[in-house]
Structure 1
Amino acid sequence: MATQFGAESTTDDVLAGMDLHGRRILVTGVSAGLGVETARSLVARGADVVGAARDLAKAERATESVRAAAKESGGSFALMELDLASLASVRAAADRLVADGRPFDVVIANAGVMATPLGHTADGFETQLGTNHLGHFLFVNRIAGLIRDGGRLVNLSSSGHRLSDVDLDDPGFERTAYDPWIAYGRSKTANVLFAVEFDRRHRDRGVRACALMPGVIQTELGRHMTPEVMEALQQRFRAATGRAITYKSIPQGAATSVWAAAVAGGDEIGGRYCEDCHVASVNDDASTRHGVRSYALDPARAKALWAKSEEMVGERF
Structure 2
Amino acid sequence: MAKRELIKTSFDATSTAIEVISGIDLKGRNAIVTGASSGIGIETARALAHAGSNVTITVRNVEAGQRVAKDIIETTRNRNVYVKKLDLADRLSIKSFVLSWTDPLHILINNAGVMATPESRTPEGWELQFATNHFGHFALAHGLHGALISARGARVVSVSSAGHLRSPVVFEDIHFHDRPYDPLLAYGQSKTANILFAVEATERWAEDGIMVNAVMPGAIRTSGVKNLELSAERITKLQSSRAPGNEIVWKSPQQGAATSVLVATHPSLDGISGRYFEDCNEADTAVPGIVGGVASYALDPVAARRLWNLSISELNL
Deviations 1:180-220 (A, max 9, x none): 11111000000000111111111112211000000000111
CA distance in 2 between counterparts of 1:162 and 1:275 reads: 14
Helix, strand or coil at the partner of 2:119: coil
Alpha-carbon distance, 1:2 to partner? 6.8
Which residue type is aligned with residue 204 of structure 1? E
8 Å CA contact 2:194, 2:214 repeated in 1: yes
- Corresponding residue for 1:164? 167
Give the TM-score normalised by structure 2.
0.92
- Corresponding residue for 1:136? 137
Of residues 182, 196, 200, the one that matches 1:197 is 200
- 105-114 or 143-152, which deviates more: 143-152
- Corresponding residue for 2:299? 297
Deviations 1:275-302 (A, max 9, x none): 011111122x220121101110011110
Q: Which 5+ residue runs of structure 2 have no aligned equivalent? A: 1-6
8 Å CA contact 2:8, 2:282 repeated in 1: no
Q: Identity across aligned pairs (percent)?
A: 38
CA distance in 1 between counterparts of 2:236 and 2:297 reads: 25
- Corresponding residue for 2:281? 278
Alpha-carbon distance, 1:224 to partner? 1.5
Deviations 1:218-257 (A, max 9, x none): 11122322245x7546534542444531100010000001
CA distance in 2 between counterparts of 1:262 and 1:200 reads: 21
Helix, strand or coil at the partner of 2:158: strand
Helix, strand or coil at the partner of 1:95: helix
Which residue type is aligned with residue 295 of structure 1? Y
Helix, strand or coil at the partner of 1:252: helix
CA distance in 1 between counterparts of 2:35 and 2:116 reads: 17
- Corresponding residue for 2:116? 115
Tell me: CA distance 1:211–1:265, structure 2 relative to 1, closer, same or farther (3 Å): same
8 Å CA contact 1:162, 1:289 repeated in 2: no
Of residues 65, 75, 98, the one that matches 1:94 is 98
Q: Which 5+ residue runs of structure 1 have no aligned equivalent? A: none
Alpha-carbon distance, 1:149 to partner? 2.1
Of residues 220, 223, 231, the one that matches 2:223 is 220
Matched, 1:151 2:151: no
CA distance in 2 between counterparts of 1:234 and 1:124 reads: 38
- 122-131 or 210-219, which deviates more: 122-131
Which residue type is aligned with residue 10 of structure 2? Q
Tell me: CA distance 1:120–1:233, structure 2 relative to 1, closer, same or farther (3 Å): farther
Q: How many residues align?
A: 307
Helix, strand or coil at the partner of 2:271: helix
